[in-house]
Amino acid sequence: MTARALDGRAVARQIYDEIEEAVRERVSRGGTRPRLATVLVGEDPASAKYVELKQRNARNVGIDSEDHRLPAQTTTEELLALTQRLSGDDSVSAILIQQPTPKQVDIHRVVLALDPVKDVDGFHPVNAGLLALGLRGGVEPCTPAGIMELLRRSGIAIEGMNAVVVGRSNLVGRPTALLLLRGNATVTLCHTRTRDLGSHTRTADILVAAAGRVGLITKDMVKPGAAVVDVSTNWEGGRQVGDLGKGVEEVAGWLTPNPGGVGPMTRAMLIKNTYEAEVRRRDGPSN
Q: What is the chain written as a DSSP string?
A: --PEE--HHHHHHHHHHHHHHHHHHHHHTTPPPPEEEEEEES--HHHHHHHHHHHHHHHHTT-EEEEEEE-TT--HHHHHHHHHHHHH-TT--EEEE-SSPPTTS-HHHHHHHS-GGGBTT--SHHHHHHHHTT-SSSPPPHHHHHHHHHHHHTT---TT-EEEEE---TTTHHHHHHHHHHTT-EEEEE-TT-TTHHHHHTT-SEEEE-S--TT-B-GGGS-TT-EEEE---EEETTEEE-SB-TTGGGT-SEE--TTTSHHHHHHHHHHHHHHHHHHHHHH----
Q: Is 73 a catalytic site residue?
A: no
Active-site residue among 98, 205, 223, 243? 98
Over range 62-87, report the average pLDDT.
97
Q: Give 280's pLDDT tier (boundaries 50, 70, 90).
A: very high
Q: Give 1's pLDDT tier (boundaries 50, 70, 90).
A: low
> Of 33-47, 177-191, 195-209, 233-247, which range is least confident?
233-247
Active-site residue among 7, 115, 119, 121? 121
Round the average pLDDT of the chain to a whole number and report it: 95
User: How many Å separate Cα 210 from the centre of its chain?
Assistant: 12
Half-sphere exposure of 138 (CA within 13 A, CB side): 22
pLDDT the model gives residue 136: 87
Q: Judge contact between 154 and 11, C-beta under 8 A.
A: yes
pLDDT the model gives residue 237: 81
- Cα 208 to Cα 192: distance, rounded to the nearest angstrom: 13
pLDDT the model gives residue 207: 98
pLDDT the model gives residue 285: 63
Q: Is 98 a catalytic site residue?
A: yes
Q: Residue 234 pairs with which residues in a beta bridge?
A: 241
Q: Is 240 a catalytic site residue?
A: no
